[in-house]
Amino acid sequence: MNEVVLQGKKNGMAVLLGFILLEALSIFGIVMAAIRLDQRTTPGAVALLVVSIIVTSCAPILTGGLKVLKPQEALVLTLFGKYVGTLKEEGFYFVNPFCTSVNPAARTRLNQSGDVDGGSSVQKILISGTNTSVELPSKKISLKIMTLNNNRQKINDCLGNPVEIGIAVMWRVKDTAKAVFNVDNYKEYLSLQCDSALRDIVRIYPYDVAPNVDTTGDGVADEGSLRGSSEVVAARIRDKIQAKVEQAGLEIIDARITYLAYAPEIAAVMLQRQQASAIIDARKMIVDGAVGMVEMALERLSEKETVVLDEERKAAMVSNLLVVLCGNHDAQPIVNTGTLY
């Protein structure tokens, strides 16, 4: 079903003034008819009284067709179950008073902007004679950009490690007819599709860079990961959600990862693994540097012929230098006054 925007309905003020004038004339007619009936002077007084009473009684019914819309609001109208059209621009409208507005998500409250404090989607009516009020959901549909912050989910990455991840999705209603009639509740539908798309994308990536993992689907291993490729992951999540909610008339503006961590049951183990990997990388760098320094020292000594070392002395020198350069503590020098032999 495609959206039909109603045009030329911004005559609410003129119709309201007409209602007020008609109501005043009908009241005046009732008064004049009562006077004439009391004086028994005019035979048409009964007809005037009946017409005036009918007009006075029907005028409030016609005022039900007056609609006021604020900026970035829409109203989907149906007449006896048939879709009539949508009011989308701000203004004072008059439509068929028998038209009813439809918004199946009016009572839905999610963890998103516009629903936390009720926004403009709730009307409070004070019950006369009491101190209580009743909240009635408005049938207006917000066209503003809203943010859906879904609950954190525990999902296994491509390596089977459980991770906790949360996303924030910026969205808005693009086609009101599809949002109202194609799905049962477009807010709940969006929340469910966000969870589904998040699981589909997270299962493709590892938490950290891992060898022999293809995250792009081209058959070639790459360095994609949830922690290091957050922008790419968020873009794929946005595209996935958009493909799922297109039939609901929703537009996904952006999606961002708001929380990412290992699940509590493996967080401590993964931290030790990261620490061990960091220590190994640091040791490897230290050893590579130490070997390079030893090679440079031997080359300099041989070039300038400062000392002549045989293979055994070179081995001893290399051993001592590596111990000094790779050790965790400061070296304690020992003065040797003798020889190796």
Q: What is the pLDDT of residue 238?
A: 95
pLDDT at 29: 80
Determine contact, residues 182/6, Cβ cutoff 8 Å: no
Residues of the chain with pLDDT under 50: 117-121, 125-128
DSSP per residue over 211-250, as a string? TT--SSSSSS-----TTT-HHHHHHHHHHHHHHHHGGGTE
The CA-CA-CA angle for residues 282, 283, 289, to 5°, reads: 95
Amino acid 340: pLDDT: 53
Query: How high is the pLDDT of residue 120?
Result: 46
Which among 139, 135, 258 is positioned nearest to 194, based on CA atoms?
Answer: 258
pTM of the model: 0.70
The CATH number of the domain covering residues in 146-262: 3.30.479.30
Domain range annotation of the chain: 1-102, 146-262, 271-326
Cα torsion for 5, 9, 13, 16, to the nearest 10°? -110
The Cα 85–Cα 95 span in angstroms is 11
Say whether 83 sits in a helix, a strand or coil: strand
pLDDT value of residue 197 = 93
Specify the pLDDT at position 289: 85
